[in-house]
Structures are given as C-alpha cells and as structure tokens.
Chain A
Amino acid sequence: MARRVVYPLYQLGNPQLRIFRTNFFMTLVKPGKEQPPDTVQFRIPMEMTKCDIKNYLEKIYSVPVGAVRTRIQYCTNKKRNHLNQRVKRPDYKVAYVQLVQQQTFQFPEIFPQKDTALEPGSVEEMQDQFMQDEQQRQKADPRRGGVTEWFGL
C-alpha cells in the first residue's frame, strides 16, 4: 500500500488496513516484445504486489482489471566506473495487466517516423541530389568487381 513504511501486524479481528494517499507510482511503458492486444505493461516499485496493482487501478483510475502477472527484472552489476568499482543498475518490477471484456490497448507511437520527402525545387533537394551525384561519380566501375585502380595497364 505504500513504500518504505512498516505495515502494522495483522491479528484476527483487526479492521481492514486502508491507506488513502499511497506512496506507489506506476509507469506505463511500451512492451519490448510483442504482447497480445488486451495486455498493458507497467514498471512498478518492488514492494507492490498483484493485489496492490489491482486495487490501485480499480480504485484510483476506475479501470477494471482481469488478471495481473508480475516479474522482477535483474539489472547488471558488472559495469565499472572510472575508479573500477562495480556500478549496479537498479532492478525493477514489471507488471502485465490484462483488461476485461475484450478491451484492447495499444501503446501510442511517441516518435512517429517522418517521411523525408523533400520539396521539389527547394535548396535542400538540389543539395541532396548533388551529393548523390558526387557519390555516384566517386564510386569505381562496377564491372571491375571490386578490384582497385592500381591494377591494370
């Protein structure tokens, strides 16, 4: 329910433990490997559990959650700094959340591919064309098959 707090010990008969302003923050990330369309991927703090994720999304964001699976990604301790000390990249936990009722989610393209189509008649286009012609001129005769100019009569 929160990070870096000591949860009070539960004894039979105690009321349900509730926290109203939680310390947890989840990050929605783009999946590295292709995921099914109803799966959303998050990076979450290590102390969070599957039940925590379900309650978080349902209570705070009112997103009904079907199933949650988590895993911990271990990051390297092999890199060394200028003092030859090992530098640890921090580990993180990843959660895969499946949505209910066939809802789908597609992570948006934040860096869309731009079509580099230059305007005909502009300065950049003529420069580009000139550079391409120059490169074509510098290339050796393809009929020589990669043999350099030194050989020959």
Chain B
Amino acid sequence: MAAPSRLPLLQFCSTRVFLLRCTQGFHGEPVVREPAYPPVIPSRTAKSKSAKKRREEDYYNQVRAASLVQDKLRLLTRLQRKKYVVYPQTFTLNADRWYQHFTKTVFLPGLPGKCSVGRQVVDKENGKVPPAAGGVDPTVLDENTFSELRSLVGNGILQENFYLKKRRPFLQKEQEHFVAPFLSNLVSSVTSSLAKYNPLLKMSSLDFNPEVSFYWMRGERTVPRGHRRGRVDPIRFQINDQPHCQIRVPEQLEEFLPLQESVSAEVPVVHFEPNRLPMFQRQYDNNIFIGSKVTDPCSYGHTQFHLVHDRFKRGRLIKGNLADQVEVRLRANAIASLFAWTGAQAMYQGFWSHEDLTRPFVSQAVVTDGQYFSFFCYQLNTLALTVQTDQDNPRKNICWGTESMRLYEQVKDGEVVGLNDDVLKLLVNFLLNKPQKM
C-alpha cells in the first residue's frame, strides 16, 4: 500500500511557521472586494412584456452595431410580413392627402427661392442682368445656348410627332409610342449641352427605366384575426417605382431649408386605415434601392423624370368627371416617388428610423405627359416615422411643386406652335442645380 509520505510533525510545530501564521491575521487591513453580480435585466425568452422590450432593444442595438450598410439594410428588411403597396401613379381619389400622411410630408405650392426663375438669361450685348431677390448663384447662361436648347426641344417634339411615320399604337400605348422617346431625347440632349455649365453633370450617371424602391413603417394597428390576433403591429409600406429616367450624382445637393427650421403648414392627418383609400396588402421581398447598389459612387439623387401613364392622362380624367384630380395625381406621384428616392438615399448612408438624419436629403422631379410639365422639389428631413420615434419628432419632410404648365400648344405643319420659354427655363434651372462649393 502506497502510503502518502508523511512529513515529520515537528516541522509544522516549529515556532517560525507558527509566528508567520499569526502575524498575517492581526496587523494587515481586510481586503475589500466589491461583490460582482451580473446586471439585473429582464429575461430574453420569457413570455412577458419586459422580455419583448428587451428583445426589441437587442435588435435595435444589433442594427446600430452593424458596420456595413448592406448588413444594416439586410437586418431591417429581413422579416417579411403583409405590407401596403403604395403606387405613385394611382387611380385612387385624393391620394395626395393620404400619401402626405403616410410620409409625413408638407406640401408647399410654388418652388423654393433657389429653383424659381431667378436665374436670368443673359444677352451678350446688354450685359449682366441682376438676379431676382431670393435667387442664389446667378449662373450665366448664354442666349445662344438657350436658343440651341429651344431648337433641340423643338426638334425632339417634331421627330416623334411629325418626321417619323408611325402607325397608330394599340390600346393604351400612346405615351410609350410618342412621348417616351421624346423624353429620353430631351433629357440626354439637354443634359449634355448643359454639362459645360454644371460640372456635377459631367460626373453624373443617367439611368433609363431604373427601379427605385423603399420600405418603411408608419403608425400601428392591432391585428384583428389570425394566429397573431390581438398583437400590436406597425403598418408597413412599400413603394416600387419605375421612373422614366433619373440622374444620380456623387455629391449631395444643397438643402433648401435648414434642418431645424419649422414650416408653418401642417401635415394632413387621416384617421382611416389605408385600405379605405383603397390600398391593398401583399407580402414579398422588402426592397430598398435607389437605382444602383450601395457601392456605386453616384449614391445621391439629382433629378427624376416621370411619364404619366395612358390610364391617367388628362383627357381620360376629364371625361370621367375627375378634372380636379389631375393636379392631385401629379402631386401624389411626386411625393411618393421622391420620398422613396430620398429615403433610399438616406438609408444607403446608414440612417434609419432610430438613427435619424443629421443632414437633409434633397432631390428634384419633373412629371410630364408629353405636353404638360410640372416641377417638384423634395427635402427629406426625417426618417423617424414609426410610433416610437415619432413622439417627440418636430421635423417634417417638405415637398414644393408647381401646377402643370404647357410646353407647347400643338404641332402644326411641321412647326411647333407656342413653345413656352418659362418651362424651358425652369428645366434648365433644375438641371443646373449643384452644391455651392462646386
């Protein structure tokens, strides 16, 4: 049997060891150590309200901590549920009030001071004309260039309506047949001739038929039926828009109004559920897209051009007793499309509803049906539209817009009759918009 070796007892009884042992206890100070308890927080998996709150907080912290924008977007759009699909070009009546409520937008008639016809066209002989009060950055535009633009536009109109021999298109394809090529022609030619006055346009990217989509949540409702009955859910919206063409730039445009400035107009509040508009729900992929992926250098928006579909043309609306809805639908189109575009741009920079914008995002749009043009400017000041984040949020998004103006009266015997210069000037102002430092 292996017995443990026993040290002789005498060693332990020696006085030296005994003394050492005694001295340790009497004269030293007691070592105080803080009790290290884990933090008292609610459980993660329990069936309680505090556990639900903790899971939500963890989710928000996870989104905040995501370093790449793609990860943030993926986390925010991962869960699929039934959502209302918002169509910018809609057949519903009085849609602009409802869309303003969904996007927390204030509509101001007229354009902001910068974009209005404050920039003057200069005559070479007379010299410089002083800019109007409120006009910023008097860019000089030659009379020659302006007349060149006029002829370009006139040629574009004649090309589609007079020079080319076209057959009558089948049902509801007139816009696609006559106006869409004219609009592409107009945009590309005017942009390229104005590129020498606006260096931003040289670095821009012009997309045709891009896809713009945005997904957001606004308001809350209790689920009435189903296995999730009784639970409080946010109301989700999705826009999938296809403008005719858009210009994307690498530098952001300047704001029209400072972020903190409050506007006197109010956002209209609609107390009915969105399905009374009528708007319909579907469940599919939640997309957030500005027209190019996140890594593209041109990640800010400049101008969009929208073509009104055949179904929503003036003639049809007037025939169906809806003459006052013409302007309403143009406004609804602009508000929805521009909110989606600016919102998607902001999300590409990493902002979302719980990390609100630190600088406003600005974009412009032109809505046309070939003859009538209307111009809109949009400033996105806040993305915090959910019930939780909207409680102390005084910021509102702002949309400025004009009424529709005719570009030309008619095409007669190979001549464009009544070409309106103001519309062209506004278009030129829009395209010449650039940040101050350039």
Asked if B321 contacts A38 (CB within 8 A), the reply is: no
* Inter-chain residue pair count (beta carbon < 8 A): 27
Asked if A100 contacts B321 (CB within 8 A), the reply is: yes
CB distance from B312 to the nearest CB of A (A): 13
CB distance from A79 to the nearest CB of B (A): 22
Nearest residue, chain B, Cβ from A64: B321
- Contacting B at CB under 8 A, from A59-89, are 64-67, 69
B92 surroundings in chain A (CB, below 8 A): 67
Asked if B276 contacts A100 (CB within 8 A), the reply is: no
Nearest residue, chain B, Cβ from A37: B272
A34 within 8 A of B: yes
Among A34, A35, A64, A67, contact of B93 (Cβ-Cβ < 8 Å):
A67
Asked if B94 contacts A38 (CB within 8 A), the reply is: yes
A67 surroundings in chain B (CB, below 8 A): 91-93
Among B272, B278, B320, B324, contact of A34 (Cβ-Cβ < 8 Å):
B272
A102 within 8 A of B: yes
CB distance from A59 to the nearest CB of B (A): 13
- Contacting B at CB under 8 A, from A91-113, are 98, 100-102
- Contacting A at CB under 8 A, from B375-394, are none
User: How far is A102 from B91 in the complex, measured between Cα atoms in Å?
Assistant: 16
A120 within 8 A of B: no
B91 surroundings in chain A (CB, below 8 A): 67
B322 within 8 A of A: yes
Asked if A98 contacts B272 (CB within 8 A), the reply is: no
User: How far is A36 from B324 in the complex, measured between Cα atoms in Å?
Assistant: 18
- Contacting B at CB under 8 A, from A1-57, are 34-36, 38-39
CB distance from B107 to the nearest CB of A (A): 16
User: How far is A23 from B90 in the complex, measured between Cα atoms in Å?
Assistant: 34
- Contacting A at CB under 8 A, from B293-333, are 320-322, 324-325
Asked if B321 contacts A65 (CB within 8 A), the reply is: yes
User: How far is A100 from B91 in the complex, measured between Cα atoms in Å?
Assistant: 13
Asked if A35 contacts B278 (CB within 8 A), the reply is: no
- Contacting A at CB under 8 A, from B79-93, are 91-93
User: How far is A100 from B317 in the complex, measured between Cα atoms in Å?
Assistant: 11
Asked if B272 contacts A36 (CB within 8 A), the reply is: yes
B94 surroundings in chain A (CB, below 8 A): 38, 102
Nearest residue, chain A, Cβ from B320: A66
User: How far is A101 from B94 in the complex, measured between Cα atoms in Å?
Assistant: 10
Asked if B324 contacts A35 (CB within 8 A), the reply is: no
A100 surroundings in chain B (CB, below 8 A): 321-322, 324
Asked if B276 contacts A66 (CB within 8 A), the reply is: no
User: How far is A67 from B276 in the complex, measured between Cα atoms in Å?
Assistant: 13
A38 surroundings in chain B (CB, below 8 A): 93-94
User: How far is A100 from B320 in the complex, measured between Cα atoms in Å?
Assistant: 10
Asked if B93 contacts A66 (CB within 8 A), the reply is: yes
B276 surroundings in chain A (CB, below 8 A): 34-36, 39
Q: Given A34-B272, A36-B272, A38-B93, do A69 and B322 touch, yes or no (CB 8 Å)? A: no
User: How far is A64 from B319 in the complex, measured between Cα atoms in Å?
Assistant: 12
Among B272, B278, B324, B325, contact of A69 (Cβ-Cβ < 8 Å):
B278
B325 surroundings in chain A (CB, below 8 A): 66
CB distance from A38 to the nearest CB of B (A): 7
User: How far is A67 from B311 in the complex, measured between Cα atoms in Å?
Assistant: 14
Nearest residue, chain A, Cβ from B271: A34
Asked if A66 contacts B322 (CB within 8 A), the reply is: yes
**B12-27 to A contact mask, C-beta < 8 Å, 1/0:** 0000000000000000
Binding site for A on B (CB under 8 A): 91-94, 272, 276, 278, 320-322, 324-325
The 8 closest A-B pairs by CB, nearest first: A64-B321, A100-B321, A98-B93, A66-B93, A36-B276, A36-B272, A67-B93, A101-B324
Binding site for B on A (CB under 8 A): 34-36, 38-39, 64-67, 69, 98, 100-102
What are 20 A-to-B residue pairs whose CB atoms are below 8 Å?
A: A34-B272, A34-B276, A35-B272, A35-B276, A38-B93, A38-B94, A66-B93, A66-B320, A66-B321, A66-B322, A66-B325, A67-B91, A67-B92, A67-B93, A100-B321, A100-B322, A100-B324, A101-B324, A102-B94, A102-B324
